[in-house]
């Protein structure tokens, strides 16, 4: 059990814990070097949730805003921290208030974000990635020297699906992409187990699972996967699902999919969504559910997506789901249907 399991899902908590770990000098040196700062700065000079206006003689209230991590040295270093892909920037972060505070010295403003972050185009400042920092800590073996650092790194390795890779043998890929001619083989149970573990590892990161109905988390002989939780999708009666659909796997040779469908079979809305998603590799699919044909939109992973090394990265699947969810929400917010 990770000691930070119930804590690090919130960005403010992450900032506080990261800053406390900076008390440990080797970790602090590594973090500063990651920012491009080549000398040590005393721990006493690190502040969290720092109100930049308190140092301003401006009469305008709340002119610059609050920065997640403030490092006060000969130069001022500002670090804004995001851990979720869909967390939007505030007005201060988008409109350059931090840069105004620094008098245009952009090299002193950093955004520490996951690679899957959706709003990179709104950032004014140097972008740094959590994945790169965490790998540095692993490579320097600092996580082995301090149990708190170990739990911190372990949590985010899982949260960001870093280096979770499943290797597939050539024979396994032949079976996976055999389509309707898939022969019986003792390898099949091992393949299904790997694919189900990929689905589970996605769920264990920042993908929120809808548990509002018992059937949403109950697995079925015909499929193995999860409904993605989001209030806006629910408002429009839309379903975003990911996992293994054995009928689609047999029919289309897609072992892992993402699907978009409508509770009330709103074809008008689905057609509007498809007009945008068809350029993102999605396709229409008529799904026979024994009651009536259901029009859904699917993205299926193909053989080439498993790479030259016959491997599949969980992070790739997770990021595609998050991108799909974000695009869907933007469509729904602007739709008149």
pLDDT beyond 60 at 51: yes
Instruction: Quote the pLDDT of residue 57.
Output: 58
Q: Which residue has the higher pLDDT, 267 or 110?
A: 110
In terms of DSSP H, where are the helices of the chain? 11-21, 25-35, 91-94, 97-101, 130-139, 147-159, 170-176, 188-203, 214-217, 231-235, 246-252, 267-277, 314-334
Distances, alpha carbon 71 to alpha carbons 138, 144, 321, in Å: 24, 27, 35
Q: For residues 107-119, give the mean pLDDT.
A: 88
Tell me, yes or no, whether 30 and 81 share the same domain.
yes
Q: What percent of the chain has pLDDT over 70?
A: 88
84 lies in the same domain as 217: no
One domain, residues 214 and 298: yes
pLDDT of amino acid 304 = 83
Contacts (Cβ under 8 Å, ≥6 apart) of 160: 114, 115, 116, 130, 131, 134, 205, 315
Look at residue 320 in the predicted model and tell me its pLDDT: 93
Mean pLDDT of 103-110: 78
Alpha carbon 182 to its chain's center: 33
Predicted confidence band of residue 181 (pLDDT cuts 50, 70, 90): very low
Structure confidence by residue, pLDDT tens digits, 85-99: 878 888 878 778 888
Residue-number span of the structural domain to which 193 is assigned = 165-334
Cα distances (Å, whole numbers) of residue 308 to 198, 232, 236, 293:
19, 38, 40, 37
Q: Which of 123, 141, 159 is the last residue of a domain?
A: 159
Q: Is residue 58's pLDDT more than 60?
A: no
Q: Which of 134, 159, 184 is the last residue of a domain?
A: 159
Last residue of a domain, one of 108, 124, 159: 159
Burial zone of 318 (CB within 10 Å; 0-12 exposed, 13-18 middle, 19+ buried): buried
Q: Quick one: pLDDT band at residue 59, thresholds 50, 70, 90? A: low
pLDDT surpasses 90 at 122: no
Question: Is the predicted pLDDT of residue 37 greater than 90, yes or no?
Answer: yes
Whether the Cβ atoms of residue 165 and residue 308 lie closer than 8 Å to each other: no
Is residue 30 domain-shared with residue 142, that is, in the same domain? yes
């Amino acid at each position: 059990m990770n000691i930070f399991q119930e804590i690090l899902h919130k960005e403010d908590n992450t900032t506080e814990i990261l800053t406390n770990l900076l008390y440990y000098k080797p970790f602090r040196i590594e973090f500063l070097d990651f920012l491009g700062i080549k000398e040590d700065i005393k721990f006493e000079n690190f502040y969290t949730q720092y109100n930049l206006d308190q140092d301003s003689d401006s009469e305008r209230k709340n002119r610059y805003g609050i920065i997640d991590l403030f490092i006060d040295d000969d130069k001022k270093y500002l670090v804004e921290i995001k851990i979720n892909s869909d967390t939007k920037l505030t007005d201060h972060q988008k409109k350059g208030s931090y840069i105004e505070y620094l008098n245009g010295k952009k090299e002193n403003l950093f955004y520490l974000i996951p690679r899957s972050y959706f709003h990179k185009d709104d950032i004014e400042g140097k972008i740094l990635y959590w994945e790169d920092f965490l790998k540095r800590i692993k490579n320097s073996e600092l996580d082995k020297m301090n149990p708190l650092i170990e739990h911190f790194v372990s949590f985010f390795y899982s949260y960001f699906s870093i280096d979770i890779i499943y290797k597939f043998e050539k024979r396994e890929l032949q079976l996976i992409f055999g389509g309707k001619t898939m022969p019986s083989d003792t390898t099949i149970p091992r393949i299904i187990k790997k694919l189900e573990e990929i689905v589970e590892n996605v769920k264990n990161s920042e993908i929120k699972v809808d548990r509002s109905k018992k059937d949403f988390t109950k697995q079925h002989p015909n499929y193995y996967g999860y409904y993605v939780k989001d209030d806006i999708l629910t408002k429009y009666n839309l379903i975003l699902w990911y996992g293994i659909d054995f009928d689609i796997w047999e029919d289309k040779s897609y072992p892992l999919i993402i699907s978009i469908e409508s509770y009330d079979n709103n074809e008008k809305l689905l057609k509007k969504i498809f007009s945008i998603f068809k350029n993102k590799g999605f396709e229409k699919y008529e799904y026979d559910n024994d009651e009536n044909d259901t029009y859904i939109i699917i993205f299926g992973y193909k053989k080439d997506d498993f790479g030259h090394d016959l491997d599949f990265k969980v992070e790739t699947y997770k990021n595609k789901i998050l991108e799909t969810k974000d695009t869907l929400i933007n469509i729904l917010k602007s739709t008149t249907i």
